[in-house]
């Protein structure tokens, strides 16, 4: 078994001893400057979310249907192969997401790393938090707010490829007729998020 296999085995195991080893490995890697991307999973009403962060902030949130292993592989290719399961690095993010699902939080205060989005897609993501909790906006309205009123389809693409769903609220963007439209987490997840916010 080579070193990557050992790291993977430690990061996927659930025993108390191996969890302790994993935490020590993560701490040592961080101290040595060898941990570029920390990740953990979090159980939520919309399934187990993968959370990943760099030293700049939260860089990725992924739903189960997006295949967590594939997401981690993409992060290794796009950011750095030095990825390790290090739950403590994401405690604050996890706490805020828990508060959100308990209807105790309407916005997020964690630092965000937007390096996975560029150009107009990044512009759209910066406008999404302006849609207030419990409200929705049409793709056309978001396109106008982002400075390109005709780029309705591009807004749809930006929302579909949003690397930070839930925290950057692309679920609040709906079709002009009020129907939900597509969502990376699936229609049920989008419905759960909108219903949660509407009930608050």
Which residue, chain included where needed, has tokens 């101290």?
31
Distance separating alpha carbons of residues 57 and 114, to the nearest angstrom: 9
Distance separating alpha carbons of residues 44 and 76, to the nearest angstrom: 25
Which residue, chain included where needed, has tokens 């439209």?
181
Phi and psi based region of residue 47 (left: phi greater than 0; alpha: psi -120 to 50; beta: remaining): left
Inter-residue contact 88 to 154 (CB < 8 Å): no
DSSP codes joined into one string, 42-101: EEETTEEEEEEE-SSSEEEEE-GGG-HHHHHHHHHHHT-S-EEE-GGGGHHHHHHHHHHH
The residue from 83, 158, 168, 170 that is catalytic is: 170
Spell out the residues 6+ positions from residue 5 whose beta carbon is closer than 8 angstroms to its own: none
The answer to whether residue 159 is catalytic is no
Which residues does the annotation mark as catalytic? Answer: 170
């Amino acid at each position: 078994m080579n070193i990557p296999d050992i790291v993977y085995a430690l990061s996927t195991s659930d025993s108390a001893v191996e969890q302790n080893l994993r935490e020590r490995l993560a701490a040592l890697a961080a101290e040595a400057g060898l941990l570029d991307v920390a990740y953990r999973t979090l159980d939520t009403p919309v399934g187990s979310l993968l959370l990943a962060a760099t030293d700049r902030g939260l860089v990725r949130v992924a739903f189960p249907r997006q295949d967590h292993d594939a997401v981690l592989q993409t992060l290794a290719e796009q950011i750095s192969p030095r990825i390790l399961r290090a739950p403590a690095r994401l405690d604050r993010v996890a706490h805020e997401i828990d508060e959100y699902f308990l209807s105790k939080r309407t916005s997020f205060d964690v630092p965000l790393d937007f390096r996975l989005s560029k150009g107009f897609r990044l512009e759209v993501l910066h406008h999404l938090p302006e849609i207030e909790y419990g409200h929705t906006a049409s793709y056309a309205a978001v396109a106008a707010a982002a400075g390109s009123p005709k780029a309705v389809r591009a807004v749809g693409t930006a929302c579909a490829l949003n690397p930070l769903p839930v925290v950057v609220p692309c679920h609040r963007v709906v079709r002009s007729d009020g129907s939900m439209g597509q969502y990376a987490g699936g229609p049920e997840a989008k419905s759960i998020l909108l219903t949660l916010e509407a009930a608050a």
